[in-house]
Structure 1
Amino acid sequence: MDELEKLLDEGGQWLPWLTEKSVSIVVGILIFFIGKMIAHRLAHWIENRLLKSKVDKAVAGFASSILYALMFAGVVLMALGQVGVETTSFIAILGAAGLAVGLALQGSLSNFASGVLIILLRPFRAGDFVDAGGQTGTIDRIELFHTYMKTPDNRVIIMPNSNIMDGSIINFSREATRRLDLVIGISYDSDIKQARDLMTQIIEADERALKDPALVIWVSELADSSVNFSVRVWVNAGDYWALRSDLLEKIKYTFDANGVGIPFPQMDVHLSKED
């Protein structure tokens, strides 16, 4: 009985401490999950406000990602402080460990730095059609470590920011107009002047073809099987692919209707008979 009473006395002494720690842990968990939810919603709200203020979608997404990361770090420190972890020493330990982590995560840090450069230098904006990092698509948003692109067939490409900044970037949407280049071949027995006149009429009749700079058509090569024309016409960037397809189709039908041949590669074989 004496030992049982002794254990009960010791348990009674530990009970207030256990109760206090349990409450601290529960409050810390609540702080973490509620704070995380608030940080997510606040970052989302700020992104929407930036978009309504006509800020570029890519910039708004990048800013909201940074804000969420900072708020989340603050929430973690608050939760640890509530549990009883000494945050001052914890921050010092994080700082000491940061160097080692940074060396281990050089690729991620490079992606972050590249994301900052993309925002500052603005080689493209959300909605631009680009060729970057070996991929072609429309820029959707820029985040801390990745850039999201959508391809014309509606695939989503998640591209590391460092891959984009380490290579060449071709922005097809930056300029309002583009030059459309075509190579059209006709057979050697077709009339060169007739073919040039027919192509000129087709292009000038299309309102999408710009008058300035002027249309240029010239014979560029006497190839193995054809006489090749180079065609250069300027067009609004948004009409590029549609006009290209329509011109090729109209030229084919018009050449067929007027007896202008479009040859295919061919080879002449000469046989000689020996006695």
Structure 2
Amino acid sequence: MTSLSAENVTSSWLGIPGTIEVFGFAIAHSARIVMTRYISSHVPPDTRKTIGKVTYYVIIAIALLSALGVSGLNLSGLFFAGGIAGIVIGFATQSLFSNLISGIFLQIDKPMKIGDPVLITGKLPDVAGVVVEITTLSSRLRMFDGTYVRLPNSDVFLSEIRNYSSAVARRVEISVGIAYKEDVGKVVGIIRKSLKETPLVLVEPEPDVYVDSLGDSAVNINVWCWVPFSVWFDTRKQIIQQIKRELDGNGIEMPFPQRVVYFAKQSRRRKTGSSDVPPEEIREGLNIDEYVHQSD
């Protein structure tokens, strides 16, 4: 009787942890299916799989620890060692988890998608290009010079993302410098007429041409107009060429940077006290102190 009772107790003792593990596996499997098919349905497949796997293994770990606790084993040493290991691993993988969480939020927020031309600025140096891939840990862009760049998702998420594909039209901004002697009103009229003759420049919003600043060598005129996004770059090149051609045809000067230099002719007495001064040819080409030094 005693032996049978011990066997029953042993069987019961082994059955509870086993039951917990079975239920743990079942719950983990169900949770992975739910996360993959429903909750994470609006994120890409690779991110969906990652979320499902993380959920699955977290539940399995919880079930395993629960089963060990019910079995009566002393887990204080295991928890202590696990705590230390967790701290070390946490510090070592801090950036990894930061990129992982940021990648999930990027997939949910969707500030950009594959194929979008974007400008990322702020936390990162300015990066402009077309989005090629957005993974769980990083985003990849093809820059306009043809090179590829990989950006950590944590930096992308904290940066300002300017998406150029979200609008139908985009503004063209050009700065033109003219000589101070030119008639500003005439130049503004020439540029406005040039814009009206360009078929891809939108009438609404209306183009704007105005004096922006008075520079060192030129009067700076800003030219703003809106064009369809799909032809922005080609239209911008066409507008610049057309404005240059019209200004040249009307004899409008666009000056180079200029500097006016004055040569001051000053008479100084030599350190010897005499009233003689250096000759003109020396005073113009030689520093007065050098002359006095050489004369001494």
TM class by smaller structure: 0.5 to 0.7
CA RMSD in angstroms comes to 3.3
1:67 is the counterpart of 2:55: no
Give the distance between the partners of 2:90 and 2:222, measured in 1 at CA: 54
Among 157, 172, 175, the residue aligned to 1:165: 157
**Which residue pairs with 2:118 in the alignment?**
130
Q: In structure 1, the residue corresponding to 2:225 is in which secondary structure?
A: strand
Is residue 115 of structure 1 aligned with residue 110 of structure 2?
Answer: no
Aligned residues: 206
SS in 1 for 2:46: helix
Does 2:179 correspond to 1:174?
no
Is the contact made by 1:66 and 1:144 (CA closer than 8 Å) also made in structure 2? no
Question: Which runs of at least 4 in structure 1 moved beyond 6 Å after TM superposition?
Answer: 71-74
Q: Which runs of 5+ in 1 are unaligned?
A: 1-45, 47-54, 75-86
Provide TM-score, normalisation by structure 2: 0.60
Secondary structure of the residue aligned to 2:257 is: coil
Which one of 255, 263, 266 corresponds to residue 258 of structure 2? Answer: 266
CA distance in 2, matches of 1:154, 1:72: 36
Cα displacement (A) at 1:192: 2.1
Match of 1:145 among 125, 137, 142: 137
Deviation at 1:69, TM superposition (A): 8.1
Measure the CA separation in 2 of the matches of 1:116 and 1:234.
35
**Residues 211-247 of structure 1, C-alpha deviation per residue, up to 9 Å, x if partnerless?**
0011111222222211221211112222222222221
Q: Is the 8 A contact 1:182 1:230 kept in 2?
A: yes
Percent sequence identity over matched residues? 25
Contact kept, 8 Å, 2:132 with 2:141, in 1: the verdict is: yes
Per-residue deviation, 1:167:
2.0
Contact 2:47 2:104 in 1 (8 A): no
The residue type equivalent to 1:179 in the other structure is R
Q: Which of 243, 248, 253 lines up with 1:251 in the alignment? A: 243
TM-score of the superposed pair, with normalisation by structure 1: 0.64
SS of equivalent residue, structure 1 residue 147: strand
User: How is 1:1-275 mapped onto 2 (pairs within 5 angstroms)?
Assistant: 59-60=43-44, 63-67=45-49, 96=82, 99-100=86-87, 101-132=89-120, 133-134=124-125, 135-271=127-263, 273=265
Which structure's residues are more often helix, by fraction? 1
| Structure with greater contact order relative to length (CA < 8 Å, sep ≥ 6) | 1
